[in-house]
């Protein structure tokens, strides 16, 4: 075949000789060549019959290779490189290079670069024609990755945990009561669809890049001002519109053994939801003993300083997810201070003693004992400053349900913990048709202090390039 066609809604069929196109390409400089190639991509996009002449395809490939070898920071060179990446993958995806391009050309490293440059999205530089190609590319690459939300099970014969790679979300955790009867003690849903549709945001998920609220969705780091999505006006909450809770993580390892475990990993790119720098994140759930689950969260900043504070946002009800409210369950928190909040639930910067206030849980007391004195309910960060330590972790909280005698002891290495009593949950239809209402569960979200990026007197949540963020939670269940 010695020609190719262009078809669209505005023009009649236009057949251009292959020799003419080759002539145009060979006479052009690198940047002008890309402008020529723009027209080729448009022809591909218009669902035309496409040329399969080896000379042109080899020419495109040579252009790509030379651009990859050029490390110039020149804007024109970058533009050429990005556009050639797009063209390369657009053609590859449609199998036009299937006979002449070896699989090694499409390395994971190259794809990572492509994703990074695509998301960065300097469309004013690239032109709207490539915006269309870029959007298609994103979708195609997602398809290629074959990552889809699934539910995985960890089971050691006593405790059964179900978790999905969508947000590393715990969808259920079943364990025995004083009579040996198993109950699921996690609020949630029977399938992944309600999580995808955010029927009840953050249920059971790991939230980030920064958990909790950032005031006005703004912060300054190393002299650069950053603006984040205002997804809970007037603040940014739990990482923005598309935080870590709603992305599909890769399953890096899944072990079904004496200590079952599953490890998820996710690459958060520079500029994602407004945050600086590329970040590699892993989360591992392990059943370390018959009634104990451990969560290890790690993140490494690759190229820029960035705030990182992950939190596990499960709603617990030790009487059973469908048993009603948690007001009669007792809670003890090893925190003698809280960080008071303003009218928008953002810490004021003060660190306040809890003694003599409704926030005092230094001795065990029922959740409902003083809840009427704190507005809608508890939604406050506790300074974990008075718990005993073991194996590098400090005692954060203890919850006990009187009806089942189930107990949860939580240990962590995080400086704070958000104690939240499901104040905004209202009529959520969950597993087995159970209806979750206000105070139907409680959250124990160990974390960096909320809005710490804007409060110099709070422990820093910033990690530098090459540094590792490490956050562990140990959930010890028992019967008392």
For residue range 276-328, what is the model confidence (pLDDT) as tens digits? 999 999 999 999 999 999 999 999 999 999 999 999 999 999 999 999 999 99
| 115 and 161 share one domain | no
| 277 and 395 share one domain | yes
Q: Of 144, 50, 65, 139, whose CA–CA distance to 102 is shortest?
A: 65
Last residue of a domain, one of 83, 118, 145: 145
Given 79, 272, 298, 445, which residue is catalytic?
A: 445
| 276 and 353 share one domain | yes
Distance, in Å, from the CA atom of 4 to the CA atom of 42, rounded to the nearest integer, reads 12
Average pLDDT, the chain: 78
Residue 246, pLDDT score: 95
Q: Is the whole model's pTM more than 0.85, yes or no? A: no
Q: Is the pLDDT of residue 29 over 50?
A: no
| 261 and 396 share one domain | yes
- Mean of the pLDDT values across residues 52-63? 44
Given 238, 269, 313, 395, which residue is catalytic?
A: 313
| 129 and 223 share one domain | no
| 278 and 404 share one domain | yes
Residue 62, pLDDT score: 52
| 331 and 438 share one domain | yes
Residue 440, pLDDT score: 98
Last residue of a domain, one of 112, 145, 178: 145
Position with higher pLDDT, 75 vs 169: 169
Is 267 assigned a catalytic role? Answer: no
Is 445 assigned a catalytic role? Answer: yes
CATH for 250: 2.70.98.10
Residue 255, pLDDT score: 93
Q: Could you give the number of structural domains in the chain? A: 2
- Mean of the pLDDT values across residues 65-70? 46
Tokens found for residue 387: 């718990």
pLDDT tens, residue by residue, 226-244: 999 999 999 999 999 999 9
| Percent of the chain with pLDDT strictly greater than 70 | 70
Q: Is the pLDDT of residue 21 over 90?
A: no
| 16 and 162 share one domain | no
| 341 and 231 share one domain | yes
| 129 and 175 share one domain | no
Tokens found for residue 36: 């020529």
| 40 and 88 share one domain | yes
- Mean of the pLDDT values across residues 186-208? 95
Residue 86, pLDDT score: 42
| 375 and 228 share one domain | yes
Residue 147's pLDDT band, with cuts at 50, 70 and 90, is confident
Last residue of a domain, one of 111, 145, 179: 145
Domain that holds residue 452: 151-479
């Amino acid at each position: 075949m010695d020609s190719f066609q262009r078809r669209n809604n505005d023009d009649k069929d236009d057949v251009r000789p292959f020799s003419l196109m080759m002539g145009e390409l060979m006479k052009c400089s690198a940047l002008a060549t890309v402008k020529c190639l723009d027209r080729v991509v448009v022809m591909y996009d218009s669902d035309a019959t496409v040329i399969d002449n080896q000379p042109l395809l080899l020419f495109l490939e040579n252009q790509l290779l030379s651009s990859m070898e050029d490390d110039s920071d020149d804007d024109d060179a970058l533009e050429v490189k990005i556009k050639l990446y797009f063209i390369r993958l657009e053609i590859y995806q449609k199998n036009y290079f299937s006979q002449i391009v070896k699989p090694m050309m499409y390395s994971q490293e190259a794809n990572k670069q492509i994703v990074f440059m695509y998301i960065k999205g300097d469309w004013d530089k690239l032109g709207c024609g490539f915006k269309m190609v870029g959007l298609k590319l994103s979708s195609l690459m997602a398809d290629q990755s074959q990552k889809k939300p699934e539910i995985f099970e960890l089971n050691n014969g006593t405790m059964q945990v179900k978790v999905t790679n969508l947000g590393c979300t715990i969808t259920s955790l079943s364990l025995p009561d004083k009579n040996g009867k198993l109950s699921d003690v996690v609020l949630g849903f029977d399938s992944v669809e309600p999580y995808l549709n955010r029927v009840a945001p953050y249920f059971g998920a790991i939230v980030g890049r920064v958990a909790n609220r950032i005031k006005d969705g703004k912060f300054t780091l190393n002299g650069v001002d950053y603006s984040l999505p205002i997804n809970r006006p007037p603040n940014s909450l739990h990482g923005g519109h598309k935080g870590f809770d709603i992305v599909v993580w890769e399953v890096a390892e899944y072990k079904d053994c004496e200590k079952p475990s599953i490890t998820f990993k996710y690459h958060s790119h520079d500029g994602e939801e407004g945050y600086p720098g590329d970040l590699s994140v892993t989360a591992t759930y392990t059943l370390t003993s018959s009634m104990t689950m451990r969560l290890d969260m790690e993140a490494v900043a690759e190229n820029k300083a960035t705030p990182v504070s992950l939190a596990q946002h499960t709603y617990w009800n030790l009487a059973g997810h469908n048993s009603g409210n948690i007001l009669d369950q007792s809670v003890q928190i090893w925190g003698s201070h809280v960080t008071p909040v303003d009218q928008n639930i953002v810490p004021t910067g003060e660190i306040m003693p809890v003694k003599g206030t409704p926030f005092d849980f230094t001795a065990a007391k029922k959740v409902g004992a003083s809840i009427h004195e704190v507005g809608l309910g508890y939604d406050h960060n506790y300074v974990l400053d008075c718990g005993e330590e073991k194996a590098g972790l400090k005692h954060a909280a203890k919850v006990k349900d009187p009806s089942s005698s189930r107990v949860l002891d939580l240990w962590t290495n995080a400086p704070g913990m958000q104690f939240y009593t499901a104040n905004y949950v209202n009529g959520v239809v969950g597993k087995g048709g159970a209806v979750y209402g206000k105070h139907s569960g409680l959250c124990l979200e160990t974390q960096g202090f909320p809005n710490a990026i804007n409060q110099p007197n709070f422990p820093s949540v910033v990690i530098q390039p090459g540094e590792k963020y490490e956050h562990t939670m140990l959930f010890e269940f028992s019967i008392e």
